[in-house]
Amino acid sequence: MRKLRDKAGTPPYRKLARAAHYSSTTLADAASGRKLPSLPVTLAYVRACGGDTAEWEQRWHRLSAELAGADELPDAAEGNDDCPYAGLSPFEAADAHRFFGRERLTEDLEGRVRGHRFVAVFGASGSGKSSLLRAGLIPRVSGREASWTALVLTPGPHPFEECAARLAAHSRSSAVALHDELRANPRALHLTILQLLAQQPPEAELLLVVDQFEEIFSLCADADERAAFIASLLTAAGAANSRTRVVLGVRADFYGACSQHPDLVGALQDSQLLVGPMTTDELRRAITQPAIQAESTVEGPLLARVVAEATGQAGVLPLVSHAMRETWRRRRGNTLTLSGYESAGGITHALANTAETAYDSFTGQQQRLAQGIFLRLVSLNDGTGDSKRRLARDKIDPNAEAVIDALARARLVTLDTDSMEITHEALLQAWPRLSRWISEDRAGLLIQQQLTDAATAWVREQRDTSALYRGSRLSVAQEWGQTHADDGRLSQREKEFLTASTRHQGRAARRRRAAVAALSLLTVLAVAAAGIALQQRSTARAERDSAVSGEVQAQADQLRGTDQSLAARLDVAGYRIHPTSLLSTDLLGTQSTPLSTPLTGHTAPVYAVAFSTHGHVMATAGKDDTVRLWNVTDTTHPAPLGNPIRAHAGGIMWLSFGPDSHTLAGAGRDHTVRLWNLTDPKHPTALPALRGHSGIVFSVSFSPDGRTLASAGDDGTVRLWDVTDPARASELGKPLRSQKGAIASAAFSPDGRTLASAGHDHTIQLWNVTDPANPKHWGPPLHGHTDTVYAVAFSKDGHVMASAGNDFSLRLWNVSDPAKPVSLGAVSGAATNTIYAVAFSPDGKVVATAGADQTVRLWNVTDPSAPIALCPPLTGHTGYIWWLAFTPDGNSLASVSADNTTRLWDLPRTMLPTPSYENTVAFNPNGRVLAAGATDGAIRLWNTADPSTPTPLGTPLLGNTNAVNKLAFNRDGHLLASAGRDGTIRLWDLTDPAHARELSKRTTDPSHAAVTTVAFSPNGRILASAGYDHKVRLWDVTDPTRLHEIGTPITAHTDTVRALAFSPDGHTLASAGADDTTRLWNVTDPTRPRPWCPPLAAQTGGVGSLAFSPDSRTLATANDDHTVRLWNVSDPRRPAALAAPLTGHTSFVLSVAFSHDGRTLVSSGGDSTIRLWNVADPTAPITRGGPISGHTGPIDQAVLSPDGRTLASAGDDHTVLLQATGTDDAVRRICAATAGTLTHKAWDQYISALTYRKACR
């Protein structure tokens, strides 16, 4: 240090003190060499002398570690097993006496567990979820409920194996037999637990804690096992006679993966607990109380330092615990000191120091083995962050035992009887060397991870040759294996797998060579050989492309919950490499997903975004002190406008365009509001800054007439400015003060009469600014939020206001009368972390929110009293999202983030939000009109002449006093029939769809029993109806203004009739329902319908929908047993099943429909998916790819347009969706909306087996 001072010109210590902010005595003592100075003093000294602080910090930690090893006190070194801090390991039930800081959360969790049988605890890695479950919940429940039994498991790659092993230990059953039962039957877990508790008191329960539940996504590669395990847990907790309470511990970044399972979403709707950072008081207890238990004390400066460094950090607890454990080793007597903490490396470096010390103690060969071990214990998870994975000990090089023991002594890994794992995922980020290993060899790690899984599957399948590698996958794995032959990365099992794969491929190659040799006997040897060679090359290329395409699809599936846009682009790439039906349906499923293009340019977090009123210009700004302007006339090809504008010092917090698009305002950390003239956006002109705030200005907002600007800030004021002439702006009146603390944002209502301000005091104040020079309160502040309110926004009509903030909630308010605002409640599950941004779409039907959970969420607020998620959360950002803005046309949404990017989201115009459940949809015969009926009794019409841009036709058709259950068009499309839950049939004149009108209605039954379904005969003269009264009725609609019933009702059904369908030849009417029967009726003479045959055999449950093929020869039924069945009804007197039931849906099948040519069948179900089936040969139907997603709830009906090019669907998620059935349409949209996602770097990461090629042309 003295040499460094000499190098700086030997400045006097007094001069250094002014620069370092420490006394001259402290600095002189630091350089004296008598003792190691503290780290802060060291860095301040180095900074004052112009040295490299990073280099000197490393020097300090190395020396500190050396001194700790030499000078450790005997009493601190001995008895370390009595250390009261857990380090990286979670607290277990036996540690409850030293588990502090989470008392309130434990009580909250206990209450949720008592109130719900299925609960999930979400939190960041390192937030303390495992300790909360093991040392908090279990001891608390066990202490109060002696008859309750707790069982803890972590799923691993094979969750049923883990579950069977844990249950077998309690039930004395065979784990092998139990595993097979659990895997085969979703009720087996429930029944096993009932059997286990059969001899226990009636109040006895099993508390099943599934910790690290995210492993079913990160480690379990078998999607069927994953789904079955989730189903078993839900069944065990949800059964009527359940004695099981299930509690999941889940890493928060896997929330999106959980949301892909509809039944899981439903179970967790009201039973989630989010584990956030500890409060300051909780941290103090967690730090001091364990020491007190061990009759020790924590030095005051040490406590202050740790609390200051850890407060507000979500995943810091294991680092705190490890640092305190290392500090305990360096304690003086019974006192834990700041110097001991600094010597250990503190929160930031203690763990890395421990790992480095262990690593440095190894020989060169042992270091290579250690690297191999750590890398094998990491599971790569794109988008959700990497995680640890358990590994069987027999998969580790036998020569590594000494290394493993040393790592275990250092508590870096945890050993079980036959497995091992990294003690905590915090090591992955906290140890730079391990982070570097992972990033430098990510592609190799992925190859190894896949190889490990493949070898395990091969052994499990009795070493079946079909499970071996071949082609390009084998070549890639062989090359990787040769590279790592000597570093312990390959287990014995993997070596055997590669050897067997190589031999098998060699035998196949020899067989091919033998075939070629045989052909040499032919006279056309040369031609034949050339042909074979070409064929081999073609086959090899096809095999390679098929394998790579499959890998790409798998990568896309993993990314779908964390970056939909990149996943969609990968689907396109995979489809271009080798088109498959699975990829085709994946592509079709993206059509209702908002996709984004990332924009780069900012060099620091981006805080603000705004669009000009005409929508051609977008402005962004952030921490890099610049405002950037973008030409977004075509949002799929945004382009920079001019040079970045250098603006506020310290960052720009907010942007707002004036209504004429010529003025832009910015709020800054430098306490000012700045204005720019953007008449020529390529050459913006700065206008005089507005000064008055005494702290950071958080927001700016123009009034609708552009004459007033409101600014809000850290000084607790809202200020109004006259900007009639922006070049001569002046403050209006006095600053508005009524809320305590900072004002995070302020927004004008569309009529300009109201200004809402959001405060750090948890309130919203509404101001009457009719006269902006004399603003007044409309009333007292609005209460409802329980923490800081960061954002407010008004709907287009000004009747609804949205607010959001630090309490993770979105709230809606009726402000039609701002003097008497009414709370419409909070949106359930609005976010998993702080919400910083809220925005209404221009039509007021959608609210967008975003924040610290790094996702954008879209909410259907067509009924603001009952908002509902419009789609799954939008993912792609990797940092907090600070703000959002819709384009003026509502077709795009911009989001800005701490990841330094802006994303422009393409919002599908084919996603049509409505106020209530949509039960039914129908195209008119020419496909130009789509009708939908909903539970609110309304029928909505859209012009679908261009199905990519549907537009509403007129106003909703009203008349039904309850839900519309079914709609049907007659053959010319001029007549629409509706079936109502109010017991009515209604006929509507759609000759002019924009001016539709009711023609007639009939109540079918004196008791007003609900009508569930209607169907027109092919000639359009007869309407059939059925419903809750178990009857089928036929109506003469020759005169649609006077419905006339034909004959007497058909009364064969014994329960609700749910479906009707006429055969296209008009001779047969099919009916089906809840009585588990499907019946065929001869209606050649509609006045005397009679059965063609007995009810169709082989029914196993109710039927929800029926459809005839266009040739009348095939009938499809949608069944409650999750299947679709096809029947040969070419002779309706002798119907017969055509094939085995079509399976794939995982819940009730709710609708079926044939395409116009009869070659495709579409089905929809309660599992929120649509499936397409190739039924060109109905005796051998084939599924067309996988399920098509888009809805977030059950899909009540899906139909194809007459030309077969568009699929319309209606769901319980309050949406109607239109999706093209052609893959090319989906590809075009993806390519337009996701430019910049599949970069060369991303290609190398996800498609490394092939050289880069453009996925989009």
Within a 13 Å sphere around the CA of 346, how many CA atoms are in the beta-carbon half? 19
Q: What is the pLDDT of residue 77?
A: 35
Q: What is the pLDDT of residue 519?
A: 46
Q: Is residue 395 part of a domain?
A: yes
Angle between helices 525-559 and 564-577 (to 10 degrees): 170
Edge to edge, the sheet with strand 685-691 lists 652-657, 663-668, 672-677, 685-691
| Domain that residue 741 falls in | 602-832
Q: Is residue 318 part of a domain?
A: yes
Based on the fold, state whether residues 952 and 826 are members of the same structural domain. Answer: no
**Closest to 321 in 3D by CA, of 557, 87, 59:** 87
Q: What is the pLDDT of residue 1098?
A: 55
Distance CA 262, CA 277 (A): 29
The residue to which tokens 């440095």 are assigned: 360
Query: For the residues 1060-1088, what does the mean pLDDT come to?
Result: 95
Mean pLDDT is highest, among 133-137, 535-539, 541-545, for 133-137
pLDDT digits (tens, 9 = 90+) for 254-307: 887 887 888 888 888 778 888 888 888 888 999 999 998 888 899 888 888 888
Q: What is the pLDDT of residue 428?
A: 79
Residue 29, pLDDT above cutoff 80: no
Q: Is residue 735 part of a domain?
A: yes
Residue 521, pLDDT above cutoff 70: no
Give 874's DSSP letter.
B
Mean pLDDT for the chain overall: 87
Mean pLDDT is highest, among 100-114, 580-594, 714-728, for 714-728
Q: What percent of the chain has pLDDT over 70?
A: 92
Mean pLDDT is highest, among 24-28, 182-186, 918-922, for 918-922
Based on the fold, state whether residues 319 and 269 are members of the same structural domain. Answer: no
Residue 74, pLDDT above cutoff 60: no
Based on the fold, state whether residues 779 and 717 are members of the same structural domain. Answer: yes
Query: For the residues 245-249, what does the mean pLDDT come to?
Result: 95
Position with higher pLDDT, 927 vs 506: 927
* Residue 1018's CATH number: 2.130.10.10
Q: What is the pLDDT of residue 1092?
A: 94
| Torsions phi, psi for 943 (to 5 deg) | -80, 115
**Closest to 558 in 3D by CA, of 391, 434, 440, 385:** 385
Q: Is residue 84 part of a domain?
A: no
CB neighbour list of residue 823: distance below 8 Å, 6 or more residues apart: 782, 784, 811, 812, 813, 814
Query: For the residues 1049-1053, what does the mean pLDDT come to?
Result: 93
Residue 516, pLDDT above cutoff 60: no
Residue 6, pLDDT above cutoff 80: no
Residue 1028, pLDDT above cutoff 60: yes
Lowest mean pLDDT among 55-69, 219-233, 384-398, 866-880: 55-69
Q: What is the pLDDT of residue 165?
A: 86
Residue 72, pLDDT above cutoff 50: no
Residue 704, pLDDT above cutoff 90: yes
Based on the fold, state whether residues 1191 and 1053 are members of the same structural domain. Answer: yes
Q: Is residue 791 part of a domain?
A: yes
Residue 515, pLDDT above cutoff 90: no
Q: Is residue 469 part of a domain?
A: no
Q: Is residue 1050 part of a domain?
A: yes
pLDDT level of residue 380 (50, 70, 90 thresholds): confident
Give 339's DSSP letter.
H
Q: What is the pLDDT of residue 508?
A: 66
* Residue 192's CATH number: 3.40.50.300
Lowest mean pLDDT among 514-518, 798-802, 824-828: 514-518
**Closest to 1024 in 3D by CA, of 1091, 933, 1089:** 1089
* Residue 17's CATH number: 1.10.260
Query: For the residues 494-499, what does the mean pLDDT come to?
Result: 85
Residue 487, pLDDT above cutoff 70: no
Residue 1076, pLDDT above cutoff 50: yes
Q: Is residue 70 part of a domain?
A: yes
Based on the fold, state whether residues 225 and 292 are members of the same structural domain. Answer: no
Angle between helices 39-48 and 13-20 (to 10 degrees): 110
Based on the fold, state whether residues 72 and 122 are members of the same structural domain. Answer: no
Lowest mean pLDDT among 242-251, 402-411, 965-974: 402-411
Query: For the residues 1021-1045, what does the mean pLDDT come to?
Result: 95
Query: For the residues 469-481, what does the mean pLDDT come to?
Result: 77
* Total count of domains within the chain: 5
Query: For the residues 563-588, what does the mean pLDDT come to?
Result: 89
Based on the fold, state whether residues 293 and 194 are members of the same structural domain. Answer: no
The residue to which tokens 């920079």 are assigned: 640
Residue 754, pLDDT above cutoff 90: yes
Domain end among 229, 250, 277: 277
pLDDT digits (tens, 9 = 90+) for 685-694: 999 999 999 9
Lowest mean pLDDT among 22-31, 99-108, 387-396, 744-753: 22-31
Q: What percent of the chain has pLDDT over 90?
A: 50
pLDDT level of residue 471 (50, 70, 90 thresholds): confident
Domain end among 260, 277, 294: 277
Beta strand segments in 28-182, E: 118-123, 149-153
Domain end among 436, 459, 488: 436
Residue 345, pLDDT above cutoff 90: no
Based on the fold, state whether residues 248 and 308 are members of the same structural domain. Answer: no
Based on the fold, state whether residues 1072 and 1213 are members of the same structural domain. Answer: yes
pLDDT digits (tens, 9 = 90+) for 640-681: 999 999 887 789 999 999 999 999 999 999 999 999 999 999
Residue 143, pLDDT above cutoff 90: no
Q: What is the pLDDT of residue 510?
A: 64
Based on the fold, state whether residues 149 and 235 are members of the same structural domain. Answer: yes
Q: What is the pLDDT of residue 76?
A: 36
Cα torsion through 180, 185, 188, 191, rounded to 10: -150
pLDDT digits (tens, 9 = 90+) for 1141-1184: 999 998 899 999 999 999 999 999 998 999 999 999 999 999 98
Based on the fold, state whether residues 696 and 748 are members of the same structural domain. Answer: yes
Q: What is the pLDDT of residue 125?
A: 77
CB neighbour list of residue 260: distance below 8 Å, 6 or more residues apart: 560, 561, 872
Q: What is the pLDDT of residue 913?
A: 93
Q: What is the pLDDT of residue 523?
A: 44
Residue 514, pLDDT above cutoff 60: no
Based on the fold, state whether residues 248 and 327 are members of the same structural domain. Answer: no
| Residue 1155, both tokens | 């395409």
Residue 70, pLDDT above cutoff 70: no
Residue 979, pLDDT above cutoff 70: yes
